[in-house]
Amino acid sequence: MKNKHFIKLKTKWVKAMVVFTPFVFSAISLWSCQQLDCGCVSPPQTGASFYYPIIGNSIVYDVQEIQYSLTENPKVENYQLKEVNASFFQDLDNKEALRIERYRRENDTQKWVIDSVFTAKKEIDKALKTENNVTYVKMIFPIKENIKWNGNLYNAFGDDSFEMKKVNQPFQTNGQNFAKTLSVIQQNDSTLVDLKRRMEVYAEGIGLVYQEKTFVSYCNTPDCLGKGKIDFGTKYMLKIKSYGKE
């Protein structure tokens, strides 16, 4: 009789576990989701990793500037820039900001010389960078294809529409391939008589890898109209050379 009673109890316990087990797994799943929300586990990608202002990181760039003139041959200047994420500080709004030290040299054989100091700030919904005392909204979060914003929101230069393109797409520059990047198109006005283009490309986990600023006017006489012959203007191209820790 005792054995029969034990078997009945065991059978009821097994049935109860079969019913209870799904609730256990549901509770565990809910707890896991709560852990994601609390920040104990990395949340889904918002895009902030493309901006990547981490202390101690540095990026070296190859830079080329070309000046076009009606009366002279194009003047080409090549040099290198290095941006170092130096330290955090509290800004005037009592928010954490990043000090970026910019160095310059003409080529690999020369020593780096301090050129300027920029600052950057990564907020919940946007990334700001102050260059030569002018603050720009470089990126907004979460990242999204074709999303637009005013890059001059925090300066006095008037509205300037920035647009995010090619999100999470590969990009190649200066002999290097980056699997996930996004492009910020700041201006892209092209006609038969001029070209005005400003754009930046950011790679996930690295930051800015490419920048272009082109403002040129083309020859518009009947013999050269539409042939892309530059009369005057400037081109500025910045391409990542290397990156890592200081």
Q: Which helix (H) or strand (E) is 220 found in, with range? A: none
* Strand-pair partners of 94: none
From 23-32, 51-60, 199-208, the region with the lowest mean pLDDT: 23-32
Check whether residue 137 and residue 231 sit in a common domain. Answer: yes
Percent of the chain with pLDDT over 70: 82
How distant, in Å, are the alpha carbons of 3, 37, 89, 104, 107 from that of 114?
Answer: 87, 42, 19, 6, 15
Q: Is-cis flag, bond preceding 22, omega within 30?
A: no
Check whether residue 12 and residue 110 sit in a common domain. Answer: no
Check whether residue 145 and residue 213 sit in a common domain. Answer: yes
Q: Which two tokens stand for residue 45?
A: 């990608």
Q: How many domains does the chain divide into? A: 2
Check whether residue 149 and residue 237 sit in a common domain. Answer: yes
d(CA 85, CA 52) in angstroms, rounded, equals 10
148: pLDDT strictly greater than 90: yes
Check whether residue 39 and residue 136 sit in a common domain. Answer: no
Distance of CA 49 to the CA centre of its chain: 7
Q: Please report where in the chains the tokens 């130096």 appear, as a residue.
A: 86
d(CA 197, CA 38) in angstroms, rounded, equals 42
Q: Per-residue pLDDT tens for 175-227? A: 999 999 999 999 999 999 999 999 999 999 999 999 999 999 999 998 888 88
Closest to 139 in 3D by CA, of 193, 204, 227, 190: 204
Cβ–Cβ < 8 Å for 194, 216: yes
Check whether residue 95 and residue 14 sit in a common domain. Answer: no
Check whether residue 68 and residue 115 sit in a common domain. Answer: yes
What domain range includes position 7?
Answer: 1-43
pLDDT at 230: 96
Check whether residue 110 and residue 187 sit in a common domain. Answer: yes
Check whether residue 65 and residue 21 sit in a common domain. Answer: no
E strands of the chain, at which residues?
57-68, 75-90, 96-105, 113-122, 126-131, 134-140, 148-150, 161-173, 176-190, 194-203, 207-218, 230-245
Check whether residue 17 and residue 93 sit in a common domain. Answer: no
Closest to 212 in 3D by CA, of 202, 224, 204, 200: 200
pLDDT band at 77 (very low <50, low <70, confident <90, very high): very high
Check whether residue 89 and residue 116 sit in a common domain. Answer: yes
Check whether residue 120 and residue 134 sit in a common domain. Answer: yes
From 57-61, 97-101, 172-176, 220-224, the region with the lowest mean pLDDT: 220-224
